[in-house]
A and B are shown apart, each in its own frame.
Chain A
Amino acid sequence: MLPTWLWLSALVLVSWGTLGLFQKLAVNHISASAALVWATAGFMLLQPLLFPGSSVFEYSTKSLGWALLNGVFTGLGFLSLMAAMRHGGKASIVEPLTALYPVLVVLLAPVLLHESIKPLHGLGIACAVIGGMLLSAETVPTT
């Protein structure tokens, strides 16, 4: 029997994998900003499942502020991604291209979090740069 974490990871893959498909389908019909508003409604539908009760006020204002800011960047990223798709970006290109953001995280981590870059990360950055360039090569004939 498969372990629980693997089932849940598969659910993440399916959910976020199909998310890109639905984003593209949505912006084929409506604007990116309208899609964001409806996506917000969908996202808020799950809030009752996560409701932590009154314990949420026991945490520091600083941490709650980071969490709120985290949501703001999720919203802005979601909006930018759908705008990219609305302006002609293919889901199959935009999604892997934006998923290369860990490169920036790894590059900024030594400055912001005083973390060091592992040798494996250097190879990952090289692959990301090559991958990003290849994904952007739109004008060669399609197969």
Chain B
Amino acid sequence: MFDGALSSGEKRQSTSPCDSRPLMVETADDGRSPVCEQDSCTDSTSYSFTTAAREQLPEIRRADSTATFLPQGLTTIVGAASKTLKKSWFWYSIAASLCWTAWAFTARAGSAELPPATMQFVSAFGFLLVGLVVVAVDRPQLKKSLRGNSYALISGVLLGLGGIALYGAYRASDNASVVTATTSLYPVATVLLAVAFLREKLNRLQQLGVCFAVAAILLLSF
């Protein structure tokens, strides 16, 4: 709650707004914790953190004046997203997206003549080529972890299996766009499994982001 009062998801300030409030000392003497915790402050009085923060921290007032031009929620999102731009995983994700885009165009060009099964059969050799180049250039340690190797091996099987099932679904259905829309929802399964088995946690904005991403995938698949 206090973080929310400071806006933009900023770290909590070291100067507590409760410091100038004798009321807090009195309530602490009444048996409450002398430490100014978020809940005890808001419970004991109607004097809110937001009000206290505005009175004491000039930075907050400056932030508030900015917020009059930009909605606070948008400021929070832009601030958090801009920090992510500095992280390497984000740029690797962008690289993956660019590769998938090229994959989509080459799939369309190739499948104009090749049947789906032949398309996957031939493309597997392109995949193999990348694997061989990686071995030659990067020389990865291939006996480091049996568990890791097994997981990677299974992921390769799942990639191929999903591809075969997709081609089968296209062949069995008269409506290709419905198959595309249905199968493109696979990230939802990943999110659910990652939360359940990998104990990954998403904040509220990211949960909302998953919903928007699903809506986008569906809209773009038709």
- What is A's interface to B at a CB cutoff of 8 Å? 3-6, 8-9, 11-31, 33-47, 49-52, 55-56, 59-60, 63-64, 66-81, 83-85, 87-106, 108, 112-113, 118, 120-121, 123-125, 127-128, 130-143
**Contact of A20 with B193 at beta-carbon distance under 8 Å, contacts A97-B213, A112-B105 already known:** yes
- For residue A123, which residues in chain B have a CB less than 8 angstroms away from its CB? 219
Our count of residue pairs bridging A and B at CB distance below 8 angstroms stands at 486
Contact A70 B9 (CB under 8 A): no
The answer on a CB contact under 8 Å between A41 and B127 is no
Tell me if B48 counts as interface (CB < 8 A to partner A): no
Contact with A along B172-215 (1 / 0, CB 8 A): 11000001001111111111111101101111111111111111
Instruction: Please give the distance in Å from A116's CB to the nearest CB on chain B.
Output: 14
Q: Does B70 contact A (CB under 8 A)?
A: no
Which residues of chain B are near A139, meaning CB under 8 Å?
Answer: 9, 79-80, 83-84
Task: Determine if B120 is an interface residue (Cβ-Cβ < 8 Å).
Answer: yes
Q: A20-B194, A60-B113, A136-B90 are in contact. Are A121 and B219 (CB under 8 A)?
A: yes
Residues 70-100 of chain B, each 1 if its beta carbon lies under 8 Å from chain A, else 0: 0000001111110111011110110111111
The complex places the Cα of A97 from the Cα of B217 at a distance, in Å, of 10
Besides A98-B97, A124-B220, A131-B210, 17 more A-B contacts (Cβ < 8 Å) are A9-B169, A12-B183, A30-B145, A34-B141, A37-B142, A38-B156, A40-B127, A43-B160, A71-B127, A80-B95, A91-B198, A95-B190, A98-B93, A100-B97, A105-B101, A134-B81, A137-B76
Decide: A127 and B216 in contact? CB cutoff 8 A.
Answer: yes
Size class of the B contact interface (CB-based, 8 Å) = 35 or more
Can you sample 25 A-B contacts with CB below 8 Å? A4-B168, A5-B169, A9-B166, A9-B169, A12-B165, A16-B189, A19-B159, A26-B149, A35-B151, A71-B123, A71-B130, A74-B126, A77-B103, A81-B96, A83-B92, A85-B89, A90-B194, A90-B202, A96-B187, A127-B212, A130-B209, A131-B210, A134-B206, A135-B206, A140-B80
